Chains A and B, each alone.
Chain A
Amino acid sequence: MIIAERKPIGEILDMIRDCDRVLLLGCRGCVTVCSAGGEREVEILASLLKLGRKKEGRPVEIVEGTLVRQCDREYIAGLAQWDGQYDAVLSMACGVGVNFIANLRPATVVFPAVNTSFFGGSATQGVWTEQCAGCGNCILHLTGGLCPVARCAKSLMNGPCGGSQNARCEINPNVDCVWQLIHDRLGRINRAEQMLQIAPIRDWQSAGHGGPRQVVRDDLIV
């Protein structure tokens, strides 16, 4: 899922400094699962913003709402229920949600309340780690299911760099060297010979280096 984290309160207060009424909009998708922007977080941020503004002596009205998702047209249409009730939308969805509101609501002012961090999963309760970088040309079948694009600091494709030490990455001794993990895992699953396969120079266009990407499924378009 997409992992996000709430921005510092001061930064958010600064964004909404000119607003008297704000629609604080959560999302029931990924940001609910990673506890960054679901209904519960909307409630907390609403309190914090009201307290912060009260302290400044300029109270703000916060309208709380949560959509099923903010990355689909039909749910964004649901914004109409709050028409006329706010000066700006403060979205707690990932950046996709904020972009969708900006795309579909030309006259609506929208701000991001979270920093969209990465694609990842919950390693243990309260800890999320990056696992995939959405490179658009997956090679996990060659690397034992462990991603060197997202999990190697240099996105190396042909084994570890010279800095790999004691199974740790040279950027930080607390970070696993994913190439060590790949090596060990391929050995365990009797596919060690895959380490010898040379990965060709990659075309990174599919990873976004060729501009914004899109997926078109003609069979779904009527």
Chain B
Amino acid sequence: MSEFIPDIKAFCCHYTSQQTCADNGENLQKSGFPGNVSLHRVPCTGKLQVSTLLKAFEEGADGVYVVGCPVNKCHNVKGSQRAAKRVAAVQKALGELAVEPERIRMYHLERGFHPEFVAAAQEMDKLVKALGPCPFKGEAQ
């Protein structure tokens, strides 16, 4: 059986991800950032709607995570707090559908490119690999 490579979608705000896109993402690749994690930049994570996060699962994501500013240091004051609430709403909905709520997660990270940004991606990759393919893909049964 071939190794399961999860499809992971990361939604990051402009501030936490701005350095990652510099140099055509070369630094990102060298840093050990998993290639199966796709980055989706938004101006502020507070702009992310619950429906956007659910669509990511509809489009086949096995895991989703959001990276916003530290709770009390958001560039847009409460943007990352709002995002955390919406992530929690999706976690609750996943639970209602008997799907592991851990498939979606919120990270609050300092701005710019630093090891924690890569560590978050690696952590999600490891976690979702352990969980296996998302049941929403209808492949589990």
Contacts and interface: CB of A to CB of B under 8 A. Distances in A.
Interface of A: 8-10, 40, 43-44, 47-48, 50-52, 54-57, 59
17 contacts: A9-B96, A9-B97, A10-B96, A40-B51, A43-B49, A44-B54, A47-B55, A48-B96, A50-B58, A51-B58, A51-B99, A55-B98, A55-B138, A55-B140, A56-B141, A57-B138, A59-B138
| A-side interface mostly | helix
Contacts of A44: 50-51, 54
Contacts of A54: 136-138
B117 interface: no
Given A47-B58, A57-B138, A52 B97 contact: yes
Interface in B108-137: 135-137
A10 B49 CA distance: 22
Nearest to A9: B96
Contacts of B77: none
B93 interface: yes
A48 B98 CA distance: 12
A92 B55 CA distance: 20
Contacts of A52: 97
Nearest to A42: B51
Contacts of A9: 93, 96-97
A115 B95 CA distance: 20
